[in-house]
Structure 1
Amino acid sequence: MSRSHDTVTIRPITGPDEIALFNRLPYTINHELDDDLADKRRRPEWMWVAVRGDRLLARVAWWGRSGDDTPLLLDVLDVDDTAEDLTEVAQTLYETAAKQVLAPGAVPPEYGRFIPADWRENPDTYRVVRTRMGVLESTGARLTVERLRLEWRPAAGLPTPDRRLAFRPALDTDELVALMTRALDGTLDAHSRTDLAQMSPHEVALKHYEQELATYSSPREWWRIGTLGENGEPVGFVVPARNAYHPVIAYLGVVPEHRGHGYVDGLLAEGTRTLAAEDVPRIRAATDLGNVPMAKAFARAGYVNFERAINMAW
């Protein structure tokens, strides 16, 4: 399908042969798109462009887990920032593509974008980010949360273990979901708080487990429950894993009755050490900008804030 808009053609890409065209607009994940197509995390019909002649004006793309029939995230929306104001073109591109990609009446998948850590301080970067947010705001989307993207590298050294804690693999799904449920009490995570407004804590925990944690192909034996001494009471859990792109600290929680004692550092240290033992070049993690205690824990463990991310929802 194609649609003309004042000599602008709006259409999906034809296939992997058009990745070079799609990547004419710069973005930090461009290098991943070939593999995403090959591994079926993307489809050509989920990747749309607005072109005038042979010039790429704007692009959008959705992402899903390998083999999914419907996308889970809108993670590419770009315009040619060197040209005239293309906001209207980008809005038309998004609306046209969304009608073809998304089911009628469905709530659109969340929008996520990686942005520089100093985006507010740099006028050019601020304009780039705000232009893309403005396109989606015009369709009804609103900012959900801004997140810190964090990275640990071996040169930072391993964080110090907490000798108060013992660890065992989190192999019992029911036990882990129960701990996740308890850890949601007082959570500062924006996505969890949104879910809690619509579901019970157990339902939120089970959703997180089934839709994210259970999808990792890395060993379940990496997941840890931290206890007070051998065979002691659980204080929390950490889920080190490998997603489709990087080793990650996928999830970490401390149950309410054990907060305020610094156990978060021991849990994070254990997760980091578990992945570091696999000789990984880096470990990635993320936390909400507003979750200051968790951000400080990552900093103490040697994680650096290398980027941010924004999420918007309809």
Structure 2
Amino acid sequence: MNPDNLIMRPIAGRAELDLFRRLPYVLNDELDDDLASGRRRPEWMWMALRGDRLVARLAWWAPRAGEAPALLDILDLDDTTPGPASIDAGVRLYETASAAVLPVGVRPPEYNVFVPPRWRDEAEARRAVEDRVAVLERAGARLLVERLRLEWRPGTPIAPSSGRLAFRPVTGRQELVALMTLVLDGTLDAHSRAELVHMSAERAAAQHYDDELAHYPSPREWWRIGTSPEGEPVGFVIPARNAYNAMIAYIGVVPAHRGRGHIDDLLAEGTRILAGQGVPRVRAATDVGNVPMARAFLRSGYEVIGQRIDMTWNENASQYASQ
């Protein structure tokens, strides 16, 4: 029985994209390409409808065609009618869609949502964010971290080399994983810290390389290691492109060389490489709590364009295993 006539179902292919896009969100413009590439599937894109009115929607995303959902990156409510009923509709949609899409006994994918830079200062934006968070909290998720989204634009000055570091390409997976392992010592990154609770630094570094860095379509010749005058690796920067943007995918200074400003040279080198490709922008992100990295981006001419809220389920959480 459905007393409020709320119909919950996936979209019926591309023909319903316009209906799905009735709720505004920054990712709406990417849906066509994501469906064409297989990063999304119609059966992963669900709607809650009351008649012909879209009340709520959600969608999962995968980094590559043929892979399982890796992120829940769309969860929207009809913000013209906020309140408990709207949140209830979102909860019911998530529960129904999750039961149909996610394997039983598997931890649900992380939730990411892009929000304005100062979303807490605007009543409407704050309510919208809090309503979405409330939906997933009722579904068992908890806040992991808030992140800054940053962007460098062509014409913004890039600091010249200080001359303190020399740069060379990464020699291969083994070298980079070894440096990533060192960088994880004392990391301020919330995702990395969560991983280190249940795996070694070496395994976390190898997993990140194999699951993400190895799949970027941009040349690995762009990747750089910064070395001291004695030839010792000080840190590294991974300028890259994914399916959407040029970006600083990873950057780090090994513990023995921290606190000396080397991050600025590494970031300038990575930005310089991407700028040399004529890209329209360079994107980057860091945790709000990672103040040293955030300040480095701002010193390097990056501007904050928004924030991202990441929510996760506990390691032992499984999706409706009792159903």
Give me the TM-score of the superposition, normalised by structure 2: 0.94
Superposition pairs of residues 14-53 of structure 1, within 5 angstroms: 14-53=12-51
In structure 2, distance between residues paired with 1:84 and 1:40: 33
In structure 2, distance between residues paired with 1:307 and 1:84: 23
- Does structure 2 conserve the Cα–Cα contact (< 8 Å) formed by 1:141 and 1:312? yes
The letter of the residue matching 1:267 is L
Q: CA RMSD in A?
A: 1.1
Q: CA deviation at 1:162?
A: 2.6
Q: CA deviation at 1:69?
A: 3.2
Secondary structure in structure 1 of the residue aligned to 2:104? coil
Secondary structure in structure 1 of the residue aligned to 2:158? coil
In structure 1, distance between residues paired with 2:97 and 2:189: 31
The letter of the residue matching 1:212 is E
Q: CA deviation at 1:53?
A: 1.0
- Does structure 2 conserve the Cα–Cα contact (< 8 Å) formed by 1:11 and 1:49? yes
Give me the TM-score of the superposition, normalised by structure 1: 0.97
Which runs of 5 or more structure 1 residues have no equivalent in the other structure?
none
Match of 1:98 in 2: 98
In structure 2, distance between residues paired with 1:66 and 1:211: 11
The letter of the residue matching 2:279 is V
The letter of the residue matching 1:283 is V
Q: CA deviation at 1:5?
A: 5.9
In structure 2, distance between residues paired with 1:135 and 1:170: 44
Once structures 1 and 2 are overlaid, which stretch shifts more, 83-92 or 125-134?
Answer: 83-92
In structure 1, distance between residues paired with 2:248 and 2:67: 27
The letter of the residue matching 1:32 is E
The ranges of structure 1 where at least 4 consecutive aligned residues each deviate by more than 3 angstroms after the TM superposition are none
The letter of the residue matching 1:281 is P
Secondary structure in structure 2 of the residue aligned to 1:114? strand
Number of matched residues?
Answer: 311
The letter of the residue matching 1:280 is V
Q: Percent identity?
A: 59
Match of 1:306 in 2: 305
Q: CA deviation at 1:84?
A: 4.9
In structure 1, distance between residues paired with 2:82 and 2:220: 51
Matched, 1:138 2:138: yes
Match of 1:79 in 2: 77
In structure 2, distance between residues paired with 1:136 and 1:163: 49
Superposition pairs of residues 1-314 of structure 1, within 5 angstroms: 4=2, 6-85=4-83, 86-229=86-229, 232-314=231-313
Q: CA deviation at 1:155?
A: 2.3
Cα distance, 1:57–1:192 mapped onto 2, change above 3 Å: same
Q: CA deviation at 1:309?
A: 0.1
The letter of the residue matching 1:269 is A
Q: CA deviation at 1:16?
A: 1.1
In structure 2, distance between residues paired with 1:115 and 1:5: 33
Once structures 1 and 2 are overlaid, which stretch shifts more, 43-52 or 160-169?
Answer: 160-169
Once the two structures are superposed, residues 196-240 of structure 1 have per-residue CA deviations (whole angstroms, 9 ceiling, x without a partner) of 0000010010111111101101000000000013x7100000000
In structure 1, distance between residues paired with 2:179 and 2:256: 12
- Does structure 2 conserve the Cα–Cα contact (< 8 Å) formed by 1:112 and 1:312? yes
- Does structure 2 conserve the Cα–Cα contact (< 8 Å) formed by 1:4 and 1:10? no
Secondary structure in structure 2 of the residue aligned to 1:287? strand
The letter of the residue matching 1:63 is W
- Does structure 2 conserve the Cα–Cα contact (< 8 Å) formed by 1:185 and 1:256? yes
- Does structure 2 conserve the Cα–Cα contact (< 8 Å) formed by 1:162 and 1:263? no
In structure 2, distance between residues paired with 1:176 and 1:300: 26
- Does structure 2 conserve the Cα–Cα contact (< 8 Å) formed by 1:170 and 1:176? yes
In structure 2, distance between residues paired with 1:78 and 1:127: 12
Once the two structures are superposed, residues 238-296 of structure 1 have per-residue CA deviations (whole angstroms, 9 ceiling, x without a partner) of 00000110000000010000001100000000000000000111000000000000000
The letter of the residue matching 1:247 is A
